[in-house]
Amino acid sequence: MISMNQSDPIEQLTHDHGHLSALVQAAAALLVRMERAEEISEEAIDELVHAVESLRDALLSHFAREEEGLFPFVDTKVPALAPQVAELLADHDAVIARTAELIRAAELAAGTGVGYALCVSTYDRFVEVYAAHAQSEQTLLRAVDAALDADARAALRALLQAI
């Protein structure tokens, strides 16, 4: 079971996903608001682009902590989890690619009036990839959590804080 201690490195990474999920939900809320509007305003599109760019930035920061800290640490301390780490690395590329597609879809909607349907279908593809990644990451974090002793946990915490 994942610790509920906020200074625990595994809990910190889990908390990051709570923040990321809130950003994903904020984009969904904007799409719902756009659906209810008779005409999609330039301001609504700008707000969606900004929301997805904020999500992208948060994802990049979170992924950097994992790729520069957690994953090398896991490869060294819990090498049996290396295949899961490799899958998550590939997932990062897919999630960022889908995020970029969503930004492009929103910008295209603003520039051409293609609009809501394109944004929704792109968002749906993003959520599919993101949700699968989040589940895989939680599985890895539970396995890492179970494998760490107090010293390894402290070392991981220091490593993540340095990033």
What's the distance, Cα to Cα, between the start and end of the chain in Å?
25
Single-letter amino acid code for the residue at 151 = D
Calculate the CA dihedral of residues 83, 58, 15, 125 and round it to 10 degrees. -60
Residue 1: predicted pLDDT = 41
Q: What CATH number should be reported for the domain holding residue 41?
A: 1.20.120.520
pLDDT in tens, the chain (163 residues): 444 455 899 998 888 888 999 999 999 999 888 878 766 778 888 898 899 999 999 999 999 999 999 999 999 999 999 999 999 999 999 999 999 999 998 888 766 656 678 889 999 999 999 999 999 999 999 999 999 999 999 999 999 999 8
Residue 15: predicted pLDDT = 85
Neighbours of 58 (CB within 10 A): 16
Neighbours of 99 (CB within 10 A): 23
Number of domains in the chain: 1
Residue 2: predicted pLDDT = 41
Distances (CA, A) of 104 to 49, 54, 80, 134, 137: 8, 14, 39, 23, 27
Residue 34: predicted pLDDT = 81
Residue 3 domain-assigned?
no
Residue 40: predicted pLDDT = 72
- Domain span at residue 150 reads 9-162
Residue 2 domain-assigned?
no
Residue 4: predicted pLDDT = 47
Q: Nearest CA to 45 among 129, 107, 127?
A: 107
Residue 3: predicted pLDDT = 40
Residue 107 domain-assigned?
yes
